[in-house]
C-alpha cells in the first residue's frame, strides 16, 4: 500500500494510526494493519469512502470485530 493512500485513509477517518510524540510519525498496530487490509479489499471491490466510514467502525477491533461484521452481513444488515 502506498504511504499516500494510508495518509488519505487517515484523513478520511478510515484507518487512524497511533502517533509517535514529537515528530508525529504514524505507527500502525497489528489491528490497524488488519483494518487497512480490510479497507483495501473493500475499496478494490468497489466500495466508496463514504459507506466505509460507517462500515469500518462496525467491524470493530480484533477478530471478534470481523466476526460481528460477517454475522451482520449474513443477516443482511451490511450492504455489499
Backbone angles phi, psi at 11, to 5 degrees: -60, -35
Percent of the chain predicted with pLDDT > 90 = 38
Q: Is the pLDDT of residue 54 over 70?
A: yes
Q: Is the pLDDT of residue 72 over 60?
A: no
E strands in 3-69: 18-19, 26-27
Backbone angles phi, psi at 28, to 5 degrees: -100, 125
Supply the pLDDT for residue 65. 46
More confident of the two residues 73 and 9: 9
Taking the chain, what is the end-to-end CA distance rounded to the nearest angstrom? 23
Nearest in space to 59 (alpha carbons), one of 38, 44, 74, 79: 38
Cell numbers linked to 71: 454475522
DSSP 15: S
Verdict on whether the full-model pTM lies above 0.75: no
Amino acid at each position: 500500500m502506498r504511504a499516500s493512500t494510508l495518509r488519505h485513509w487517515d484523513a478520511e477517518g478510515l484507518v487512524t494510526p497511533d502517533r509517535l510524540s514529537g515528530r508525529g510519525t504514524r505507527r500502525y498496530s497489528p489491528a490497524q494493519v488488519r483494518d487497512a487490509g480490510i479497507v483495501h479489499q473493500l475499496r478494490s471491490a468497489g466500495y466508496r469512502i463514504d459507506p466505509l466510514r460507517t462500515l469500518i467502525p462496525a467491524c470493530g477491533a480484533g477478530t471478534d470485530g470481523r466476526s460481528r461484521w460477517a454475522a451482520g452481513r449474513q443477516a443482511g444488515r451490511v450492504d455489499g
